[in-house]
A and B are shown apart, each in its own frame.
Chain A
Amino acid sequence: MIEFNKHTLSNGLKVISHFDNTSPIVAVNLLYDVGARDENPEKTGFAHLFEHLMFGGSVNVPHFDEELQQAGGENNAFTSNDITNYYETLPLENIETALWLESDRMLSLAFTPKSLEVQRNVVVEEFKQRYLNQPYGDAWLLLRPLAYKVHPYRWATIGKEISHIENATMQDVKDFFFTHYRPNNAILCVAGNIQPEKVFALAEKWFGSIPKGEIKTRNLLPEPKQTKAHRLEVERDVPADAIYIALHMCNRTHPNYQAFDLLSDVLSRGESSRFFQNLVKEKQLFSEISAYVSGDIDNGLFIINGRLSAGVKPEEGEKEIWNELQKISENGIDANELTKVKNKVVSGILFSHVNVLNKAMTLAYSELLGNANLINTETDLYLTVTTQDIQQRAAEIFIPKNASTLVYHSKKA
């Protein structure tokens, strides 16, 4: 049981405090409810570029990192299609340094042209390093627009194309900041050897005077139901052919989410899973294959991704994947198999609660999903899933017209 306290400041900033006296470190996590899905389709990659600019100095503090490091702290951030999340870990006695820095950049950024110019280049290099200069690195750049035609999940957080990042202007930056980076669009979580009253008082001290913003209600067009199979085959300089299958499924807070997650575990979690035992070990069609859920806040994807063994044709691999999927839709799974994947999930959750940073992140994200207490109740949501649920979920999404299939053909094979 992870104990926590919640408080909302008058400007709408939600504050969560978790007391843990076993660590000398305090974790400060600040989540903004903005991600790539909130971008203009002509200016994609912006939420992520913005994350970089958040380190380029704020209105009263020119050097974010230096001040934090001076206090013995370290920080980082990440952007997803749904959120932008910033965090610091530092010695408890210097917690105010983190709150000072985070609150000042929530108040306003310095908006220096140099920072924008440099970070555009840095992000372009990140685009190359992670997506273009890696074998299979462009998979998500291809798969997203194949699976989504309407919803903004059709582009990746890095952006649709490099030019969107290169063309970002200072006006874009300012608009984005004042639209999204407001206290009433954020969740602050502090975890460590510090009492809730103290956390709330410090939050008030540093964040209380930041004016709330006008946050527009998100009004994204839902992805219409897919009615026919989508398919893309590409040739690349990759060592082996590969298959990606994306199937539409529910969102993260839907009551069926945990069943889908367990269904993906039945297929590929651990070496006792069906994919490993049947497709890797017995039939030796794939050298590696996995299934997982994207866990997005809007309707997400169930992904299957495999690299074929040398000499195996993609059609053959694809056929066998579908064969495995249909076995579950038609025959279900046995109780033992379900207990197994449940045990693994429960244990995974317990192991994720051993350090303050993980707990702070999970609490903030759970609050965004509706209630911070999800950190405690989620285990039960997994445990109540039945074998019938699993079979129904399989039958619901494992159908060819719900699939978007991407095939990599190796130029070398």
Chain B
Amino acid sequence: MINRKIAPPVNSVSIPDFLMPQKYTLSNGANVWYYNAPVSDISRISVIFHAGTIYESQKLQAFFTYQLLKQGSIQKSSQQVAELLDFYGSYTEMEVMKDFCCFTIYNLNKYAQEILQMVAELIESPGFYETDFEVYRKKQKQRFLVNMEKVSGMARNQFPSLLFGKDHPYGGETNYTDYDAIQLNDIKQFYNDAIKEKPFTVLVSGAVNNHLVEVIDNTLGKIKISALLKEISSDVFNVSDYKPKKNYLPKKEALQNAILIGVPLFNRKHPDYFPLMVANTLLGGYFGSRLMSNIREDKGYTYGIGSALATYKNNGYFIISTEVGSDVCADALKEIYIEIEKLCSRKVPEKELNVVKSYMLGDLLRDMDGPFALSDRFKNMYINNLPDTYYPNFAEAIKNVNSDEILRVSQRYLTVENLTELVVGKK
């Protein structure tokens, strides 16, 4: 008979080698990074453009440009593009980020030629048709209004400005009028300045065979690349004038209030990033975290609460986010700050630290579940401009970090006096 009171022996998580993707260069000089895997004849191809929203001279410009770029080309109307994608069983995603944009295409390899030929046309000669623009604008306007009916939507829209400032490339909030202000010409201009003939990088994962390699070179490899994207000086990302704020936005009849608490920090290359990442996980980065254990599992104030270290190429921020019952908002805030105080004043017990370490190492393994996960991990390295040694170093840092180090970084970056707080809802 098994003794259920005793846990089965737990093996310390061993991390396999960090497999780097293979690389080749297309005729036009663009690099392709790929993971080949024994899956059915499918592949996921991402084209990474190096101009994100930080290149905008006007709000929404990058977002609209990329979203419209994928709709139609000079050769094919948006209807033809949609027809072709759907007919060949392809899916596309456009992820517009602060520093980059990632255009992802899911292909059946047998139709890769047709699909990638069309993708190349979209990138090289987008149509930017008036009707598509108006239809898209209408939809986005309505989505914005729906989002602004949510306490979480209102909070997320305003928070970057509180951290970075309204005019900072990582700050700024969107207003309804921005959707009226943007014009097709602004979109064409963004394309001409930041995308057209500029270098891009390709990530491929799935069944990568010779045929697919050839197809990619015949299509994406033929896109003209002739000019470099102008670098944005790193000075503009400076947030040395940051001052913590407390802000409250009312929303009538809210049943729950959204709470965001955070502080601007650094990018993943900073020497304190790894230990702070462990401190963050401990505080709010997983289900067993202190915030979840206290605010949800002990008090029942919320359905969920979490914290994260978000990073950009040039800096990053720490954020706690939750939605709590409006009637218990003050109590929830009090408990959140108690947890932060605790993190900054007492060493974490060994047992708890070990759970966090095991969880984080397991998470590194989950990032290797299948070719798409591997490729996502590499994308992360690529867009954060990280060295090949990043993940092995991360794993080592998790294993070796001690409670003194966690206390040190918590005190340095997460003290209550330094945090900005935003509450949206009913007081």
Contact = CB atoms under 8 A, between A and B. Distances in A.
A150 interface: no
B362 A271 contact: no
Interface string B62-82: 000000000100000011001
Nearest to B363: A74
Interface centre among A124, A205, A340, A351 (most CB of B within 10 A): A351
B135 A280 contact: yes
B5 A343 contact: no
A119 B14 contact: no
B300 A120 contact: yes
B369 A24 contact: yes
A284 interface: yes
A22 B396 CA distance: 24
A23 B150 contact: no
A324 interface: no
B138 interface: yes
Contacts of B7: 61, 67, 70, 97, 100
Nearest to A72: B362
A90 B359 CA distance: 9
A117 B370 contact: no
B324 interface: yes
A341 B86 CA distance: 7
B52 to A, nearest CB: 24
Contacts of B139: 280, 287-288
Contacts of B373: 355
A347 interface: yes
Nearest to A307: B142
Interface centre among B141, B143, B325, B362 (most CB of A within 10 A): B362
A210 to B, nearest CB: 11
Interface of B is mostly: mixed
Nearest to B106: A351
A310 B366 CA distance: 44
A354 B372 contact: yes
B149 A209 contact: no
A100 B150 contact: no
A70 B358 contact: yes
Contact of A133 (B5, B71, B150): B150
A270 B150 contact: no
A122 B302 contact: yes
Contact of B83 (A24, A134, A272): A272
Interface stretch (A182-190, A226-234, A236-244, A397-405): A236-244
B146 interface: yes
Nearest to B85: A270
B106 A133 contact: no
Contact of B362 (A73, A119, A281, A343): A73
Interface in A273-312: 273, 276-277, 280-281, 284, 287-288, 307, 309-310
A357 interface: yes
Nearest to A67: B7
B11 A93 contact: yes
B392 interface: no
A7 interface: no
A89 interface: yes
B271 interface: no
A96 B8 contact: yes
Interface residues of A, number: 84
A197 interface: no
B296 interface: yes
B16 interface: yes
Contacts of A237: 149, 253
Contacts of B1: 209
Interface in B84-136: 85-91, 106, 108, 131-132, 135
Interface stretch (B38-46, B156-164, B260-268, B414-422): B38-46
Interface string A388-408: 000000000000000000000
A239 B149 contact: yes
Given A69-B359, A347-B89, A288 B142 contact: yes
A125 B325 contact: yes
A238 B146 contact: yes
A73 B366 CA distance: 9
Contacts of A107: 4
B301 interface: yes
Interface string A317-351: 00000000000000000001001110110111011
B82 A128 contact: no
A270 B88 contact: no
B151 interface: yes
A117 B300 CA distance: 8
Contact of A310 (B142, B354, B365): B142
A61 to B, nearest CB: 7
A34 interface: no
A220 B301 CA distance: 36
Contacts of B359: 69-70, 72-74
A94 interface: yes
Contacts of A309: 138, 142
Contacts of A350: 40, 42, 108
6 contacts: A25-B368, A69-B355, A100-B7, A117-B300, A272-B83, A355-B373
**Which 10 residue pairs spanning A and B have beta carbons closest together?**
A72-B362, A121-B300, A347-B89, A239-B145, A271-B82, A272-B82, A343-B89, A96-B8, A270-B86, A60-B4
